Structure 1
Amino acid sequence: MAHLIEITSADDPRLADYRDLRDVQLRKSLEAEHGLFIAEGEKVVRRAVERGFDPRSFLMAPRWLDGLEDVLSRADVPCYVLDEQLAEEVTGFHVHRGALASLHRRPLPSVEEVLAGARSVLVLEDLVDHTNVGAVFRSAAALGFDAVLLSPRCADPLYRRSVKVAMGAVFALPWTRLDDWYDAMPMLERAGFTTVALTLAEDAVPVPDAVHGVDRLALVLGSEGPGISERWQRSASRRAVIPMQAGIDSLNVAAASAVACYVAAHR
């Protein structure tokens, strides 16, 4: 059972895991140093624990204790209880979902482990917005993709904002980072995948045509601004586009991922 500890000061040193959650640079440094990540909200906290992530501690307002009683009963860690105004002082924002958990990160699996048995894989190159990364994970999980690979410069899927937007999908979907960015497409082809890059290139064909007849698919999406790099576009075996109307040339990468994943799931 978690140990309930009442907190009366925002300066309490035991709250270090939860301090300044909106300071991205600080959080990157702190979370990497201590091997932790933050889950926010009752559903996300529950899903993290149910997926086997070990909690370091919990932080919540009293009204959330009953709703998470079953989760707290399985964890022999501190649960810091404080009012919502004090929680805002600690975290730097209004924790309107009431509950937070600090959990241990796991070592990332190898690319080979993530690809084993996968038929549909999403490959992300340099997505730097945590909200977009979370939304892409949510679409991939909801639409039947088996795994996600990220280039070295992609935003962290376990950053609090990514986890929140994904509604815990980052816990359910196997993922890891690519060690070799340059030869990622040839590597996937050697592993038996057909690589399909979502791009505005002149030779791109509509997504349904690009994925037709493909067994093991690696669907590739690029960064929010420039899109997929020239290297990845050239080395992908196929290039695909979502046909647009009314003079619109593209969608936000999160929306594009949902459309492309839906089409790919019905190939």
Structure 2
Amino acid sequence: MRKLTHDEISLKRSKPEEISSVKKLPVYVILNSIRSNYNVGSIFRTSDAAMIEKLYLCGYTPHPPKKEILKTALGATESVKWEYVKDALSIIKELKNKGIKVCALELTENSRAYYELNKNDFPLALVVGNEISGVSQEILDHCDMAIEIPQYGIKQSLNVAVAYGIAVYELRKIFDLNNQNKS
């Protein structure tokens, strides 16, 4: 086994000039009132890796060009389509009007495991909430569903950027498996 060089890895990746024509994961991500620049930067980078459709930064979520975001995102702010919109509910309503299901990444009385979604759940808007308080009840009232990541230890949650990474990669897996079956 030999580790690939950066040049070899680059051959398998999309080029910046091709990014607008690359088929995206039909997932829109709504970050609502995330506090940490570093979490936002990490979410940008993971969003690029999973090739999501669009990232909405809402509430008091910091947004580029903050240096901490740019440092952590490593250029993903240029490859991920994003927009700052103060009111998350306005985006949720807009996406729902387009027929996109809205899903909170949150522990609720009706949440299901993150790996239980299926092809009929796409396109999907994934709402990710504040590091401490999570997704607000006001936002939950407008969601079609909620998914959770089971916790097996004594802690009740994961870091928001880590939880997002787990969830979005599972969404990528579910979407890709269903599209392979169509071929």
| Structure-1 residue corresponding to 2:85 | 178
Distance 2:90 2:159 in 1: 26
Alpha-carbon distance in structure 1 between the residues aligned to 2:32 and 2:170: 20
**Is the contact between residue 106 and residue 148 of structure 2 (CA under 8 Å) also seen in structure 1?**
yes
Unpaired stretches in structure 1, ≥5 consecutive residues:
1-49, 53-116
Deviation at 1:118, TM superposition (A): 7.0
**What does residue 168 of structure 2 align with?**
261
CA distance in structure 1 between the partners assigned to 2:155 and 2:55 by the alignment:
28
Structure 1 moving runs of 4+ over 4 Å: none
Q: d(CA) in 2 for partners of 1:243 and 1:129?
A: 24
Structure number with greater CO (CA < 8 Å, separation at least 6) is 2
For the residues of structure 1 that align with 2:93 and 2:78, how far apart are their CA atoms?
28
Q: TM-score, normalised by structure 2?
A: 0.77
Partner of 1:55: none
- Over residues 35-70 of structure 1, what are the superposed CA-to-partner deviations in whole Å (9 max), with x where a residue is unaligned? xxxxxxxxxxxxxxx969xxxxxxxxxxxxxxxxxx
**CA deviations over 1:94-117 (Å, ceiling 9, x no partner):** xxxxxxxxxxxxxxxxxxxxxxx8
For residue 259 of structure 1, report the CA deviation from its aligned partner: 0.2
Cα RMSD after superposing both structures: 2.0
Instruction: Give the percent of matched residue pairs that are identical in Structure 1 and Structure 2.
Output: 25
| 1:202 equivalent in alignment to 2:109 | yes
Task: Tell me how far 1:240 sits from its aligned partner.
Answer: 0.7
Asked if the contact 1:208–1:263 (Cα under 8 Å) also holds between the matched residues in 2, the reply is yes
Distance 1:207 1:133 in 2: 21
Shift of 1:132: 0.4
Q: CA deviation at 1:192?
A: 2.2
Distance 1:240 1:181 in 2: 18
Unaligned runs of 5+ in 2: 1-14, 18-23, 175-183
The answer (yes or no) to whether the contact 1:200–1:241 under 8 Å persists in 2 is yes
1:192 aligns with 2:118: no
Q: Which residue of 1 aligns with 2:6?
A: none
TM normalised by structure 1 equals 0.54
Whether the 8 Å contact between 1:130 and 1:157 is mirrored in structure 2 is: no
Counterpart residue type for residue 166 of structure 2: V
Aligned twin of 1:169: 76
- The 3 A distance-change label for structure 1 pair 133 and 171 is same
Change (3 A) 1:146 1:184: closer
2: distance between equivalents of 1:182 and 1:194?
Answer: 14
Structure 2 Cα separation of the partners of residues 211 and 124 of structure 1: 22
Aligned length: 154
